Amino acid sequence: MKLKEDQTGILLSFNIWANRRLTDQIKSLSQEEFTRETGGSFPSLRLTLIHLLESDWLWLNRWQGKPLVLPPENWDTQTPISISEIWLGIQEQIEETFESKAEGAMQQVIHFVTKAGAALEMPYWQTVSHMVNHATYHRGQMANMIRMMGHKPVATDLFLFYIEENGRPE
């Protein structure tokens, strides 16, 4: 699997692993808990998940050469299961896009437009690092929301990912 061959691929693999762990836990919560406003950048688990879903969609499209593509309006984002189904498909596409990159692609310049309309560019590896860091930040917020609801949040720490990966035979 090419995804694990370099540091950027390892970060993407970690991100996918952490997102899957989190969505598995959130699917076990009630709809009321999923939509309960507890505060934060996005006040509920649902709104925070939608933000991460849309962010991954934007980066996936940017990596495929589309500077700004808004999320489809027909996405069903009402339940943890519906969001998870969409998001897991995007995670698979992210993995496929990474694996299809030619050697040396980490330095490829990605041209994109922010939602605010600013035209920017940066190397592919920096956009991946940003995406993973951004998701880690919001997963931490969701862990806090889950804790505020009286549940123990699932662990999504990079350290635990490494422990699991190091214990896996090739």
pLDDT over threshold 80, residue 120? yes
Q: Is 130 annotated as a binding residue?
A: no
Per-residue pLDDT reduced to its tens digit, 62-114: 999 999 999 999 999 999 999 999 999 999 999 999 888 877 788 899 999 99
**111 in a known ligand binding site:** no
- Segment 14-38 shows an average pLDDT of 96
The whole-number pLDDT of residue 7 equals 86
Distance CA 80, CA 100 (A): 30
Q: Has this prediction a pTM greater than 0.75?
A: yes
Per-residue DSSP letter, 4: G
Please report, for the chain, the start and end positions of each structural domain, with discontinuous segments joined by +: 2-28+41-163
The reported pLDDT for the residue numbered 169 is: 66
Q: What is the CATH number of domain 2-28+41-163?
A: 1.20.120.450
Half-sphere CA count of 125, side-chain side, radius 13 A = 11
pLDDT band at 1 (very low <50, low <70, confident <90, very high): very low
Q: How many CA atoms lie within 13 A of 167 on its CB side?
A: 6
pLDDT digits (tens, 9 = 90+) for 35-55: 999 988 999 999 999 999 999
To the question of whether residue 134 is assigned a binding role by annotation, the answer is yes
Residue 167 has a pLDDT of 87
Closest-CA residue to 3 (of 16, 13, 17) = 13
